[in-house]
Amino acid sequence: MRVSFPLRVLLTALGAWAAAQLCVWWKIPLPWMLGPLIATSLASMGGAPTASWGRARNAAQWTIGAALGLYFTPAVTALVASMWWVILLGIVWALWLGWLFGAWLYRVHAPRMPEVPAQQLRATCYFAGSIGAASEMTLLSERENARTELVASSHSLRLVIVTVVIPFALQWSGLHGSGEWGAARVVHGPGLALLALCTGLGAWLMLRLDRANPWFLGALLASMGLAMLGLDLSAVPQWMMNGAQLLIGVSLGVRFRRDFLRTAPRWLATVALGSLVLMALCALFAAAVAWATGLPWVTMVLGTAPGGIAEMAITAKVLQLGVPVVTALQVCRLMAVLLVVEPLYRRLYKPAVQAESSRLS
């Protein structure tokens, strides 16, 4: 029996909600994202008719971008401005480390996956290794005809490893970070409506400019601008944040296919090994920066960790390790990666592909 698309979307969302509730009960880290992601991906690989609505995914990215931008209060902005060279160094480090990880993945898997065209595998490994959020890197990789299910699985597995290992390690160590600079915490109806309008205009502008991931980046920049001006309009309700995480988890989970099972074990094993190495290298980098600047090492660990903004910010919040500082570092890195990683890919690899095509013709 053929199931209509709206019904598939509804059933997928209900299953994701049930998975999130189960993860909340089990006290799993990031239950509203990891629960839907794991449940939806397993159902998709099992052949279930899962589906994700693109407009819902856009709304989720819009919501998260608007919420994260609120942390850039005048106090945080002043702090970030004084750390400009640290942020720049972190961006260069993340780009180089992501390129190195992707190159290693390609070298390992190219001989073992001859059925995948070389350029498609190159794009897959490059975006899978890039240190950015799963949804953003998957969307960018889709433009370059990469294997999006492998890219999504790489970032999702790394997210799980980072999210589980780092919080437990920091909690066990008993380390604490810097003081807090809070974003808006009170939900105010008219203010929330104005925030939605401004961030919506920001997303529209990014769409008009044809920028990568406009719904997230546009909302983030607009929300940041309001917070920098000291305009405390409203917090984003927690239920909206939970719903946004759920929708992003679903949008990633539906990208998995049945044939993914044939390549997943070896691919995920190398991604897991590489992710552990990435965390170790980032911890050493954080230690060096903390020594040079006098900033708390534990805050720098979360700020430079190869995880997502929301995941690291939530970890910082739970362990009281300086949410705004961590968010600022992660946001600036993500913005740079979103703007640079795709043009960098085309500059590094597209000329070689075009030269090869000319030679063959």
pLDDT tens figures, 240-268: 989 988 998 888 788 777 766 666 688 88
Other Cβ atoms closer than 10 A to 357 = 10
**Is residue 101 in a domain?**
yes
At residue 29, the pLDDT reads 67
- 95-113 pLDDT, tens digit per residue, is 999 999 999 999 988 887 7
Q: Which residue has 């279930």 as its token pair?
A: 48
- Structure-model confidence comparison of residues 145 and 319, the more confident one: 145
Residue 264, classified by CB atoms within 10 Å of its CB into exposed (0-12), middle (13-18) or buried (19+), is: middle
Quick check: 161 pLDDT over 50?
yes
- Report yes or no: 258 and 141 within 8 Å, Cβ to Cβ: no
Domain membership of residue 47 as a residue range: 19-52+86-187+237-360
- Report yes or no: 325 and 300 within 8 Å, Cβ to Cβ: no
**Is residue 145 in a domain?**
yes
What average pLDDT score do residues 116-135 get? 83
At residue 175, the pLDDT reads 61
At residue 220, the pLDDT reads 85
Token couple for 39: 């449940």
**Is residue 289 in a domain?**
yes
- 188-225 pLDDT, tens digit per residue, is 888 899 999 999 999 999 888 877 678 888 898 899 89
d(CA 253, CA 41): 4
Token couple for 67: 């919420």
**Is residue 24 in a domain?**
yes
- 271-318 pLDDT, tens digit per residue, is 989 999 999 999 999 999 888 888 788 888 888 888 777 667 666 665
How would residue 21 be classed by pLDDT, with cut points 50, 70 and 90? Answer: very high
At residue 212, the pLDDT reads 63
At residue 101, the pLDDT reads 94
The overall average pLDDT reported for the chain is 81
Q: Which residue has 């890039």 as its token pair?
A: 130
**Is residue 12 in a domain?**
no
How crowded is the C-beta side of 31, counted as CA atoms within 13 Å? 13
- Report yes or no: 175 and 322 within 8 Å, Cβ to Cβ: no
**Is residue 74 in a domain?**
no
pTM of the model: 0.73
At residue 350, the pLDDT reads 65
At residue 72, φ and ψ (nearest 5 deg) are: -85, 60
Helical pair 84-109 and 118-129, crossing angle rounded to 10 deg: 140
How would residue 356 be classed by pLDDT, with cut points 50, 70 and 90? Answer: very low
CA angle 115, 117, 119 (to 5 degrees): 150
How many independent structural domains does the chain possess? 1
**Is residue 65 in a domain?**
no
Token couple for 201: 């205009």
At residue 341, the pLDDT reads 85
**Is residue 42 in a domain?**
yes
Residue 339's identity, in one-letter code, is L
Residue 243's identity, in one-letter code, is G
In this structure, is the dihedral angle defined by the CA atoms of residues 100, 113, 133 and 32, taken in order, positive or negative? negative
d(CA 151, CA 252): 10
At residue 342, the pLDDT reads 84
How far the first Cα of the chain sits from its last, in Å, is 47
